[in-house]
A = this chain, B = another copy of it.
Amino acid sequence: MNELKVFTIKKNIHEDNKKTANETRDFLKRHGACFINVMSSPGSGKTTALARTIVELKAQLRIGVIEADVDSDVDARAIMQAGGKAVQMHTDGLCHLDATMARGGLEELGVEDLDLVFLENIGNLICPVAYDVGAAKSVAILSVPEGDDKPLKYPMIFEKVDALIVSKIDVMPHFDFQMRLLEERARKLNEDILIFPLSAKTGEGFSAWTDWLKAQIKA
């Protein structure tokens, strides 16, 4: 296991975000690494879902994660423990990542030896959505305890992502959450959205999600 890198990154206000994002996509294409931007609220289970994804796929794919947090390194340590390559990026209080910050993370991580790289974005349903970070695909995670009304209140993220993970489905009996209602509300905003209900605790639903990831790498 590599030593954990922790670094602080500052926003460059003069950048041309879209240009940097496109350069990142070209760079990753050359290296054959698929880059996925993962966004959600704090506490929706991003790290736990990614750690289980690594456990399920590590025999077949080499996976890295850029962990972005305001503070702490607990997430990057969890990823390394699952068998992934990880760097911890500190955002110095910022509420989102842009393409330059994501590129810094990719360079710190090193992508030459990876098939799949996740950016675990800052826990925030609003600000990160506005920034193209150079990813091939973007994924939102919504946990069952957050409620099936979130597409009504935070529509932008549901409009923008390619896929939606509905996490923590093992606790569904303890919450007033209707999957059909959530799906209807999400599809009303984005008719092409793929929805993967899953539980990182029981493993339920992971095969559909990991099959989709494998298809992205072949694409």
A124, B153: Cβ atoms closer than 8 Å: no
A42, B174: Cβ atoms closer than 8 Å: no
Q: Does A154 contact B (CB under 8 A)?
A: yes
**Which residues A12-62 have CB closer than 8 A to chain B?**
41-43
Q: Which residues of B contact A42 (CB under 8 A)?
A: 41, 125, 146, 150, 153-154
Pick from B95, B143, B145: contact of A124, CB under 8 Å: B95
A123, B174: Cβ atoms closer than 8 Å: no
For the complex, what is the distance from the CA of A175 to the CA of B94, rounded to whole Å? 29
Chain B binder among A1-9, A66-74, A109-117, A211-219: A66-74
B150, A43: Cβ atoms closer than 8 Å: yes
For the complex, what is the distance from the CA of A71 to the CA of B148, rounded to whole Å? 15
Q: Does A168 contact B (CB under 8 A)?
A: yes
- What per-residue 1/0 map shows which CB atoms of A116-133 lie under 8 Å from chain B? 000000111111000000
B126, A93: Cβ atoms closer than 8 Å: yes
Pick from B43, B95, B150: contact of A127, CB under 8 Å: B95
- What per-residue 1/0 map shows which CB atoms of A145-162 lie under 8 Å from chain B? 111011011111000000
For the complex, what is the distance from the CA of A153 to the CA of B73, rounded to whole Å? 8
Q: Which residues of B contact A156 (CB under 8 A)?
A: 70, 93
Q: Which residues of B contact A150 (CB under 8 A)?
A: 42-43
Q: Does A181 contact B (CB under 8 A)?
A: no
Task: Determine the residue in chain B with the shortest Cβ distance to A73.
Answer: B152
A–B complex contacts, Cβ < 8 Å, 22 sampled: A41-B41, A41-B42, A41-B43, A41-B123, A42-B153, A43-B146, A70-B155, A71-B152, A72-B149, A72-B152, A74-B153, A94-B126, A95-B95, A95-B124, A122-B126, A123-B153, A124-B126, A124-B127, A126-B127, A127-B127, A145-B145, A171-B174
